């Protein structure tokens, strides 16, 4: 998300899919790509986001459908991030 939020003028443009559905969905695309590759399918993913709770509620069902994905909101409780990483 950060990469495309304030892009460098010389950086290549985001994929069309990201342009159509929004930059905050880039993490979904990456998670999906990891899951589709047999070599990376079982790697757990943590989405550590700055999105507001209202934004999360809007996409929560989509997040729940991503295998091996946990999401946390930045700044809410850093202790939770450490616990998720350790688990």
Please report the pLDDT score of residue 38 as a whole number: 94
Convert 40-78 to b/e letters by CB count within 10 Å (16 or more is b): eeeeebebbbebeeeebeebeeebeebeebbbbbeeeee
Could you identify the residue written with the tokens 């342009």?
Answer: 19
Residues 36-76: pLDDT tens digits? Answer: 999 999 988 888 777 766 766 777 777 777 778 887 777 76
Which of 3-7, 76-80, 82-86 is predicted with the least confidence, judged by mean pLDDT? 3-7
Mean pLDDT of 66-87: 79
pTM summary value: 0.61
């Amino acid at each position: 998300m950060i990469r495309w939020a304030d892009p460098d003028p010389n950086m290549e443009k985001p994929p069309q899919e990201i342009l159509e559905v929004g930059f905050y969905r880039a993490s979904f695309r990456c998670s999906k790509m990891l899951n589709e590759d047999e070599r990376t399918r079982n790697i757990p993913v943590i989405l550590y986001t700055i999105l507001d709770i209202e934004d999360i509620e809007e996409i929560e069902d989509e997040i729940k459908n991503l295998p091996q994905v946990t999401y946390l909101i930045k700044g809410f409780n850093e202790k939770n991030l450490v616990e998720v990483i350790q688990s």
